[in-house]
Amino acid sequence: MSDPTGNVIEISGLCKEFGSGQGRRRRTVRALDDVSLSVADGSCLAVVGESGSGKTTLARILVGLEQADAGDVVLAGRPVARRPRRAERRARARDVQMVFQDPNGSLNRRRTAGAAIGEVLAAHHRVTGAEARQRVAGLLDQVGLRPEHARALPGELSGGQKQRVAIARALAAEPRVLVLDEAVAALDVSVQAQVLNLLAEIRRARRLTYLFITHDLSVVRQVSEEVVVMCQGRIVERGSTARVLDEPEHPYTRLLRDSAPRPGWHPRRTTTPEVTA
């Protein structure tokens, strides 16, 4: 189904609260507070903010790992039910896949890379054993790995190789959207650059849409055309990557930019500004 607006993701009025503590110490934390955004088909939107800003909760709601308390999500022109049925969950999994910061969270250490990718193929596509092996080899090739990597267990792979397998596993569903939650944060700088280049190539080749969750502003400059800045569960700024990072309007965005390490940079004590409505 296509969206006449040209947006593959439409989110409006999203709210999510979590409880913490017990008894008199129990309190409610609002992780998302009336969040609305859209993402154009084939584009990459970066979502930035410090830990606890709500960006990962937003990603988890989009892929169905959390349920919103209020608000609406429209994915690829289809409204997402608050409590979806099994068929609706499967349809969403075909439309949107997530790549996590730690590939060990999505890869079973007892299953080979080929089995992990084949599991997704079997869930979403009717393929024979021979066809599945061929498609696994093709997916590994797309992420820069060799056919023999299909027989490797996660413990036999480097961190960068495991993340490439996780990307191939997500691509096996043939989604329209990839949600990348700090997907390169755990990698060495040189490997990080390789994976970012790989993701850019995959996006162009498959015309995918990316929602890129990160705290690293240097990564934002490399991957996205637009950026959303979140603080305390709210969106405080949105615009083109160059404009937001070079000429930020909100005090929190300026704080993020000025806190980013630079040559000759030394840490200094700062406080997070209050978010105003």
d(CA 274, CA 34): 17
Residue 138, domain member (yes or no): yes
pLDDT of res. 265:
45
Three-class DSSP category at 179:
strand
CATH of the domain at 22: 3.40.50.300
Residue 167, domain member (yes or no): yes
Complete edge-to-edge strand list for the sheet that includes strand 44-48? 96-99, 177-181, 209-214, 44-48, 226-231, 234-240
pLDDT of res. 261:
65
Residues 6+ apart with CB under 8 A from 232: 33, 52, 53, 54, 275
Residue 139, domain member (yes or no): yes
Residue 269, domain member (yes or no): no
Give the tens place of pLDDT for each residue, 195-207: 999 999 999 999 9
In terms of residue numbers, what domain contains 125? 7-259
How many domains would you assign to the chain? 1
**Strand 234-240 relative to strand 70-75: parallel, antiparallel, unpaired?**
unpaired
Residue 275, domain member (yes or no): no
Question: Are 240 and 40 contacting, i.e. CB atoms less than 8 angstroms apart?
Answer: no
Residue 2, domain member (yes or no): no
Global confidence as pTM: 0.87
Residue 240, domain member (yes or no): yes
Give the tens place of pLDDT for each residue, 79-119: 887 777 777 887 888 899 999 988 887 789 999 999 999 99
Residue 276, domain member (yes or no): no
**35-60: burial string, b at 16+ Cβ within 10 Å, e else:** bebbbbbebbbbbbbeeebbbbbbbb
Residue 222 token pair? 């490399």
Instruction: Write down how long the chain is.
Output: 277
